[in-house]
Amino acid sequence: MAPKSYDCFAVVLFSLVATHADIDLETVAQLSNGSSEVASSALADSQLVSGAVVLATCNRYEIYGETPHAENLEAARSALVSQISGLSGLNEQLVSRAFSTRTGPEVSRHLFAVSAGLDSAVVGEREIAGQVRRALITAQHEGTASSGLVRLFQAASKTAKDVGAQTALGSRGLSIVSVALDLATDLSENADWSTKKVVVFGTGPTPEPRCRCFAIAAAPTSPSTRLPAAPRLS
């Protein structure tokens, strides 16, 4: 069954998508500079963007938008591209080329796959579901999430939960860190992680999920983050 379209009468949902599958991660990181301001700035500067939710992770930068009418779609996209260019410092043409645009049922189809971990670098990883939920919470807190986008993201989160509960993917508990640990264990002459020290870079504000697999392996772990006073796994 095809995913339901969450376009409402007189409004149109669309998304700008830049991921590890299409461009290098350095460009993804450059594009996402200033990502916390994109949605609010776009709504403040353009009447053609009536809602926006930003999903920014290490592997993807996606903006889900709403515009009042289908004929405004290209102008709304241009408004978001302009905001991203201004905040990231990248040329508008480069920014425009970096993003693919999804409309209609493709918007929900893609977000559902992302939330379920089916579009991840490690298929089935579960961290992305939480990142999708937090993206909506942030947009609601900032007042940029339209009712159509709220319904879309809530449906995507429910789908991710169902996939986790009803398929084998949920029981695997995969993440990039867990796969890296498995690979390192296979390649190591000494697989006793209790004799090794591990530093995890780029952990963000909540390093516990990324470090937990090392704790299970009994490896002393030190999370490293750019944010001050990052919590440590005890």
Catalytic residues: 58
Tell me 226's DSSP state: S
Residue 38 to residue 159: CA distance in whole angstroms: 27
Strand partners, 17: 62, 100
Residue 210 token pair: 């990324």
Residue 59 token pair: 């592997």
Instruction: Give yes or no for a contact between 160 and 115, defined as CB atoms under 8 angstroms apart.
Output: yes
Residue type for 133, please?
A: R
Residue 166 token pair: 């009803």
Kindly calculate the radius of gyration of the chain based on its CA atoms and give it in whole angstroms. Answer: 19
Residue 189 token pair: 């002459």
Instruction: Give yes or no for a contact between 207 and 219, defined as CB atoms under 8 angstroms apart.
Output: no
Instruction: Give yes or no for a contact between 54 and 40, defined as CB atoms under 8 angstroms apart.
Output: no
Residue 228 to residue 224: CA distance in whole angstroms: 10
Instruction: Give yes or no for a contact between 50 and 67, defined as CB atoms under 8 angstroms apart.
Output: yes
